[in-house]
Structure 1
Amino acid sequence: MSSQAKVAVGGVVVAILALILIPTFILKLIVLGVIAIPVAGYLMLDPSQRRRVRAQGRKRLGS
């Protein structure tokens, strides 16, 4: 099993445990934070920096 697969399985296990053990309101706040933090970081970049980030993503998709 590759290390990426181990991380994915671990993430699924943690998510299932979180659904069982953590109250719904707190779980929603955690999910919102996981999504909002990278989006806020991207929006704080200058337009030239955003262009470079998009170019990196396209370069990785092609390889």
Structure 2
Amino acid sequence: MSTQTKLVIGGVVVGFLTMFIIPWWVSALIILGVLGAPVVGYMMLDPSQRKRVRAQGRKRLGS
């Protein structure tokens, strides 16, 4: 199992645990923040920077 898969599984477990410990709406806000932060960061990039990020992702797929 890859490191990224382990991190994703751990994040899901922590997300479910927070739903039982704190109110559901607080955990929903936390989950939305975690998912939204990379999206907002990507949208703040210039078009040329986004193109470079996409090319970097494609380069990693072949290695």
Q: Which runs of 5+ in 2 are unaligned?
A: none
**Count of matched residue pairs:** 62
| Max Rg structure | 1
Measured after TM superposition, the shift of residue 15 of structure 1 is 2.8
Shifted more, 53-62 versus 17-26: the winner is: 17-26
Q: Which amino acid aligns with 1:47?
A: P
2:15–2:27 CA contact under 8 A, matched in 1:
no
Q: CA RMSD in A?
A: 2.1
> Percent same amino acid at aligned positions?
61
TM-score (norm 2): 0.76
2:15–2:31 CA contact under 8 A, matched in 1:
no
Deviations 1:4-63 (A, max 9, x none): 276456434423321221210001101110111111110000010000000011111111
Partner in structure 1 of residue 59 of structure 2: 59
Shifted more, 17-26 versus 51-60: the winner is: 17-26
Q: Distance in 1 between matches of 2:47 and 2:32?
A: 25
Partner in structure 2 of residue 27 of structure 1: 27
Higher RCO structure, 1 or 2 (CA under 8 Å, sep 6+)? 2
Q: Which runs of 5+ in 1 are unaligned?
A: none
Q: Which amino acid aligns with 1:54?
A: R
